Amino acid sequence: MNRRTTKSTNGVHTVSRMFAAAIVGLSSANTFAEPPIESFLADAPANFIPPPIHPAGAQLQTKQLGEGVYALLSGLPAVDNSGFIVGERGVLVIDAHVNAEMAGQIQDAVRRVTDKPILYLINTNYHGDHTFGNYAFPKETLIVAHRNTAEHMRYFEYEKEFLLPAVNNDRSVYSAAELRLPDIAFDKYLRLDLGGRFVELHYFGHGNTPGDTVVFEPHTRTAWTGNLIIGEGTIPPMFEGGVDDYLQTISQFAQTLEVTTIIPGHGAPATGLLLGRYLRYLNDLKISVRGAIDAGKTADAAIASLLLSAEYLPPRDAPQAALIPFLQGLHSLNVQRTYRDLIDR
Ligand SMILES: [Zn+2]
According to DSSP, residue 211 is labeled T
Q: What is the pLDDT of residues 73-113, one digit of tens each?
A: 998 889 999 999 999 999 999 999 999 999 999 999 999 99
pLDDT at residue 75, as a whole number: 85
Q: HSE (CB half, 13 Å, CA atoms) of 151?
A: 22
* Residue with more model confidence, 296 or 18: 296
Compute, in angstroms, the gap from residue 41 CA to the centroid of ligand 1. 15
Could you state, in order of their start, the residue ranges of all structural domains in the chain? Answer: 40-273
Compute, in angstroms, the gap from residue 298 CA to the centroid of ligand 1. 31
Instruction: Note residues around ion ligand 1 (Cβ under 5 angstroms).
Output: 129, 227, 265
* Three-point CA angle 293, 295, 299, nearest 5°: 40
Q: pLDDT averaged over the chain?
A: 89
β-pair type (198-203, 189-193): antiparallel
The pLDDT > 90 percentage for the chain reads 80
Instruction: Categorize the per-residue pLDDT at 7 as very low, low, confident or very high, splitting at 50, 70 and 90.
Output: very low
d(CA 63, CA 82): 11
Compute, in angstroms, the gap from residue 293 CA to the centroid of ligand 1. 31
Asked if residue 21 has pLDDT above 60, the reply is no
Instruction: Categorize the per-residue pLDDT at 320 as very low, low, confident or very high, splitting at 50, 70 and 90.
Output: confident
β-pair type (198-203, 213-217): antiparallel
CATH classification number, 40-273, choose in 3.60.15.10, 3.40.350.10, 3.40.640.10, 3.40.50.620: 3.60.15.10
Asked if residue 18 has pLDDT above 60, the reply is no
Q: Residue 219 is which amino acid?
A: H
Compute, in angstroms, the gap from residue 240 CA to the centroid of ligand 1. 12
Q: Cα dihedral angle (87, 264, 78, 315), rounded to 10 degrees? A: -140
Q: What is the mean pLDDT of the segment spanning 40-54?
A: 86
- Nearest C-alpha neighbor of 53 from the set 107, 130, 124: 130
User: Residue 202 forms beta bridges with which residues?
Assistant: 189, 214
Compute, in angstroms, the gap from residue 127 CA to the centroid of ligand 1. 6
Compute, in angstroms, the gap from residue 330 CA to the centroid of ligand 1. 14
Q: What is the pLDDT of residues 107-134, one digit of tens each?
A: 999 999 999 999 999 999 999 999 999 9
Compute, in angstroms, the gap from residue 61 CA to the centroid of ligand 1. 18
β-pair type (142-146, 118-123): parallel
Compute, in angstroms, the gap from residue 311 CA to the centroid of ligand 1. 25
Compute, in angstroms, the gap from residue 227 CA to the centroid of ligand 1. 5
Compute, in angstroms, the gap from residue 226 CA to the centroid of ligand 1. 7
Asked if residue 322 has pLDDT above 90, the reply is no
